[in-house]
C-alpha cells in the first residue's frame, strides 16, 4: 500500500512517484526498468551535535549519503536523480546544519557496519596530540626520590579517556604556556577560546549532582586557576579569587576521604598551595588548618618536605586573625593574648627547625652554593643599579631543593618578623622584664632568631636568578612565585629594607612576564 502512513512498503523512489513497488532486493524492478537509482527501503537518520542548547532532530529522506564526520565543513549534495525538489530538500538540510554550526553525522541502516569515517577533522587530531603532550610536559618529577610529589596532569594519562571538562581548560593552559615560550601571540590568543569552553564545561558539570564531585571536574577547576595565573585575562585577581574560593567549597564538599589516593590525592596536593595562600591573603583561617585535613590525605602516601612546610604555613591565617583582634579586647587582656600568640609562634618555630633539619639530611653533599652575581640587572631600567645589592646568588642541586629552601626561608622570615613585632609590642607595654629573664614562651630562643628574618628574605631574593634561568624556566616561575610574594609582604613598610623591597618588586615584574596574575597585585 503506497501513501498510507505506517503501512507503506516501497523504496524511496517509488514512494516519491506514488506507484506500487515490487520490493525486490537490492533494487526494485520499477527503478531498474526505468533506469532510476533505487536508494533502498530504510529511512535515513541525521544526528546533529548539540552545541547551542537546542534539541531539534532532523530526519533526512535521502539514503545514499556518505558517512561524514567533519567539523566546520560543508557536505556535498547527494548523488541522486536531479530534480528541483531534491535540490531544495538538500539545501534546506544544509542551511539547517549551518544554523547549528556543528558537526553533522549522516547514517543509514545499511551503512551501520564496522568502517572508518571517510573524513576526520584534522583539528580534533591536533587537539588530542597537544593534550597528550601537555600531560607529560609539566610532570614535576624530582631527581630526589624523597621529595617526589606527582603533578596531577600526568596522572590523567593513566585514566584513559578525559572528558571535555578536564581537557579543554588543561589544553588552554598548555597552549598559553607554549605560546609564551615560543613568543607566539596567536597561540596565546587561541588559548582564550579553550578557556571559555572550559568555563562552560565546568559550570555545566557543577550543575549536575551526578558529576559535580567527580575528580575530572576538580581537575578542570584547577586548570582554570592555573590559566588565570598564567594569563589573567581581566588583569585583576578577581577571577582567580573566585576560582580558588569555588575550589575550596568543592574540595570541602567532596570530603577529606576522597583525597587519600589516586587522582584525588594528586589534585588535593595541587590545590592545597592555592587554598593556603588564599587564606593567608584574606587573613582568615580555613578548613585546611583542621587536623583531619592535615593527616587523612596522607594515610597512604607519605608527606614530602614541601607538604610539611605547608603544615606550618597553614597556621598563619589563624595567627594573623588573632593578631588583628588583639587590640580590640580590654587592656588587661592584651598581654595575655600576646603571650598566647607567642606560644603558638614558638611551637611553629620548633616545627620549622625540624623541617630544616630534614632538608639538610639530603643525600647531596651540598644543597646550594654561592656563585658570583651576574652583570645583568634584575631590572630593565638602565637607571636602576642592583649590582651592589648582592655580591653572590645561590645555585641549587635541583629545582625541588630550591623550592623547599626558598619556601623555608620565606616562612621563617614571616614567622620571625612577626615574633619581632610581638616583642616590640610587649616592650611597649612595659613587659621587657619577661624578655630579659626568658620567662616569655620561647623568649631566649626567639631573642636569637628574631633579627634573622632580614637574612631569610635576602636568601629568597638570591634564589630568584636560579629559578628564572633558561634551564629551569619551565617550572622555576611556579616554584619561586609564592616565596617571593611572602618575602615582599615581610619587607613592605620596613625602612631598613628599602633596597631589598624595591629589588623584590622589580623581580616580581620580571616574573609577571610568565605569571600574568602578578601584574594585578598592588
pTM of the model: 0.72
Helix (H, G, I), strand (E, B) or coil at 48: strand
In a shared domain, residues 101 and 28: yes
Phi-psi region at 160: left, alpha or beta (left = phi > 0; alpha = psi -120 to 50): left
What cell numbers appear for 415 in the block?
614567622
Cα 12 to Cα 104: distance, rounded to the nearest angstrom: 22
Clarify whether residues 54 and 187 are in a common domain.
no
**Same domain, residue pair 423 and 470:** yes
Count the alpha carbons within 13 Å of 174 in the hemisphere toward its beta carbon: 21
> Is residue 232 in some structural domain?
yes
265 located within any domain: yes
Residues 298 and 333 in one domain: no
Residues 161 and 261 in one domain: yes
Residue 3 maps to a domain: no
Whether residue 443 is contained in a domain is answered as yes
Q: How far apart, in Å, are the Cα atoms of 259 and each of 211, 218, 270? A: 17, 11, 11
For residues 105 and 148, membership in a common domain is answered with no
In a domain? residue 133: yes
Identify the pLDDT of residue 163. 87
Give, rounded to a whole angstrom, the gap between the first and last alpha carbons of the chain: 81
Q: Which domain range does residue 126 map to?
A: 121-302
- Do residues 226 and 339 share a domain? no
322 and 292 in one domain? no
Domain count, the chain: 3
Do residues 367 and 496 both lie within one domain?
A: yes
Distance from C-alpha of 415 to C-alpha of 417, rounded to nearest angstrom: 6
Grouping H, G, I as helix, E, B as strand and the rest as coil, residue 392 is strand
- Domain-embedded: residue 2: no
Helix 399-428 × helix 316-324 angle, to 10°: 20
Within-domain flag for 332? yes
Residue 473 sits in the same domain as residue 499: yes
DSSP 78: P
Per-residue DSSP letters for 200-228?
HHHHHHHTSTTTTT-HHHHHHHHHHHHHH
Q: Are residues 324 and 261 in the same domain?
A: no
Identify the CA nearest to 297 among candidates 319, 279, 275.
275
Last residue of a domain, one of 250, 273, 302: 302
Residues 287 and 327 in one domain: no
CB 328 within 8 A of CB 289: no
Instruction: Specify the pLDDT at position 242.
Output: 95
Contact 259, 247 (CB under 8 A): no
pLDDT at residue 373 in the model: 81
C-alpha cell at 227: 590559566
User: Mean pLDDT of residues grouped by 10 in the chain (522 residues)?
Assistant: 59 87 85 85 60 49 39 42 43 41 39 47 63 60 40 66 87 87 87 93 93 93 92 89 96 96 91 95 94 95 94 94 81 77 88 92 84 60 58 91 95 90 75 59 59 90 94 88 95 91 94 84 66
In the block, cell 567527580 appears at 214
Q: Is residue 161 part of a domain?
A: yes
Amino acid at each position: 500500500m503506497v501513501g498510507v502512513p505506517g503501512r507503506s512498503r516501497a523504496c524511496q523512489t517509488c514512494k516519491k512517484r506514488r506507484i506500487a513497488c515490487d520490493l525486490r532486493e537490492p533494487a526494485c524492478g520499477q527503478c531498474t526498468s526505468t533506469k532510476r537509482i533505487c536508494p533502498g527501503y530504510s529511512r535515513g537518520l541525521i544526528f546533529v551535535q548539540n552545541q547551542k542548547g537546542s534539541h531539534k532532530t532532523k530526519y533526512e529522506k535521502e539514503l545514499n549519503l556518505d558517512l561524514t564526520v567533519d567539523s566546520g565543513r560543508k557536505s556535498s549534495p547527494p548523488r541522486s536523480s536531479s530534480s528541483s525538489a531534491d535540490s531544495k530538500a538538500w539545501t534546506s538540510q544544509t542551511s539547517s546544519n549551518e544554523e547549528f554550526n556543528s558537526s553533522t553525522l549522516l547514517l543509514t541502516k545499511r551503512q551501520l557496519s564496522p568502517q572508518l569515517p571517510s573524513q576526520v577533522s584534522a583539528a580534533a587530531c591536533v587537539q588530542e596530540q597537544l593534550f597528550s603532550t601537555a600531560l607529560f610536559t609539566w610532570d614535576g618529577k624530582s631527581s630526589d626520590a624523597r621529595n617526589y610529589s606527582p603533578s596531577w596532569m600526568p596522572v590523567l594519562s593513566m585514566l584513559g579517556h578525559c572528558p571535555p571538562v578536564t581537557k579543554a581548560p588543561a589544553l588552554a593552559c598548555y597552549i598559553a604556556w607554549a605560546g609564551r615560550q615560543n613568543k607566539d601571540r596567536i597561540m596565546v590568543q587561541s588559548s582564550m577560546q579553550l578557556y571559555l569552553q572550559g568555563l562552560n564545561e565546568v559550570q555545566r558539570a557543577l550543575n549536575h549532582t551526578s558529576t559535580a564531585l567527580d575528580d575530572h571536574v576538580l581537575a578542570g577547576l584547577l586548570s582554570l586557576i592555573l590559566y588565570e595565573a598564567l594569563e589573567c585575562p581581566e588583569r585583576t585577581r578577581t577571577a582567580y579569587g573566585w576560582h580558588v574560593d569555588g575550589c575550596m567549597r568543592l574540595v570541602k564538599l567532596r570530603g577529606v576521604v576522597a583525597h587519600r589516593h589516586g587522582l584525588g590525592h594528586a589534585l588535593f596536593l595541587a590545590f592545597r598551595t592555592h587554598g593556603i595562600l588564599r587564606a593567608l591573603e584574606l587573613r582568615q583561617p580555613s578548613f585546611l588548618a583542621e587536623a583531619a585535613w592535615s593527616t587523612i590525605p596522607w594515610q597512604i602516601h607519605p608527606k614530602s618536605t614541601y607538604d610539611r612546610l605547608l603544615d606550618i604555613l597553614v597556621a598563619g591565617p589563624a595567627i594573623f586573625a588573632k593578631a588583628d583582634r588583639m587590640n580590640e579586647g580590654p587592656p588587661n587582656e592584651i598581654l595575655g593574648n600576646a603571650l598566647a600568640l607567642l606560644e603558638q609562634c614558638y611551637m611553629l618555630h620548633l616545627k620549622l627547625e625540624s623541617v630544616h633539619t630534614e632538608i639538610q639530611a639530603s643525600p647531596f653533599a651540598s644543597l646550594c652554593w654561592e656563585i658570583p652575581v651576574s652583570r645583568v640587572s634584575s631590572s630593565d631600567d638602565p637607571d636602576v643599579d642592583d649590582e651592589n645589592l648582592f655580591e653572590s646568588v645561590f645555585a641549587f642541586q635541583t629545582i625541588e631543593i630550591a623550592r623547599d629552601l626558598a619556601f623555608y626561608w620565606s616562612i621563617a622570615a614571616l614567622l620571625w618578623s612577626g615574633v619581632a613585632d610581638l616583642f616590640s609590642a610587649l616592650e611597649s607595654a612595659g613587659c621587657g622584664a619577661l624578655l630579659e629573664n626568658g620567662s616569655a614562651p620561647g623568649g631566649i630562643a626567639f631573642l636569637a632568631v628574631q633579627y634573622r628574618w632580614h637574612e631569610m628574605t635576602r636568601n629568597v631574593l638570591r634564589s630568584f636568578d636560579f629559578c628564572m634561568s633558561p634551564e629551569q624556566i619551565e617550572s622555576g616561575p611556579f616554584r619561586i612565585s609564592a616565596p617571593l610574594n611572602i618575602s615582599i609582604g615581610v619587607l613592605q613598610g620596613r625602612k631598613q629594607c628599602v633596597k631589598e623591597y624595591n629589588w623584590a618588586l622589580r623581580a616580581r615584574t620580571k616574573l609577571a612576564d610568565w605569571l600574568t596574575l602578578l601584574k594585578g597585585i598592588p
